[in-house]
Amino acid sequence: MRKKILLIGGGGHCKSVIDVIESLKEFEIFGIIDKEENLGKQVLGYEIIGTDEDLEKFSRVCDFALITIGFIKDISPRKRLYQRVKKLGYKLPVIISPLAHVSRYSEIGEGTVVMHHVIINSNVKIGVNCIINNKALIEHDCVIGDHCHISTGAILNGGVKVGSETFIGSGAICVENTVIKPFSFIKAGSLVK
């Protein structure tokens, strides 16, 4: 029997996460939490059933939740919601696309989503509530802090350290052993060394 999961955030990132969740066949999407003006609308056939105010109520009927709002310039909504659902007792699973390759020697924190065609090599450590987006490459011995977004096609070469609450843009390349401070914003296509 599939486990019920509540998705929190009904925008573009939510659509991408729905695609990954459906491909796993482990979870049944219970519904989506979003803004009040979107109540009753659907995202890829799943109804927006409540707002942030309903999280406590739904925690009594749904054990699992996942933050499905994106993060480009401001992590605070994702971080705030993560902390709130943890406090309410939801379990935040790690969601990994079956089209990704994740080394069995890596560690991934709760609430993190690994999208399609990602490669995560050996001895990688990824924090909680992260987005590892389509076609990102994270090489051996990288460490990624909590609440980070590694965008589409970004490349982190061996030994890169990424501080918490950092955004790395699409196609950015991080040279081996680079240290990126917390709260950094790395533009798309950047070379970081």
CA distances from residue 115 to 78, 101, 147, 153 in whole angstroms, order as listed: 17, 10, 15, 11
Tally of CB atoms within 10 A around 84: 16
Active site residues: 140
What is the C-alpha to C-alpha distance for residues 158 and 143, in angstroms, rounded to an integer?
Answer: 10
Which two three-digit tokens encode residue 76? 């605070």
Element (H, E) at 29: strand 27-33
Task: Please answer whether residues 120 and 102 qualify as being in contact, where contact means their C-beta atoms are separated by less than 8 angstroms.
Answer: yes
Residues ≥6 apart with Cβ < 8 Å to 127: 109, 112, 144, 145, 146, 147, 148, 164
Q: How far apart are CA 57 and CA 10, in angstroms?
A: 19
Q: What Å distances lie between residue 65 and 10, 28, 172, CA to CA?
A: 13, 11, 30
Show the tokens assigned to 132. Answer: 């590892």
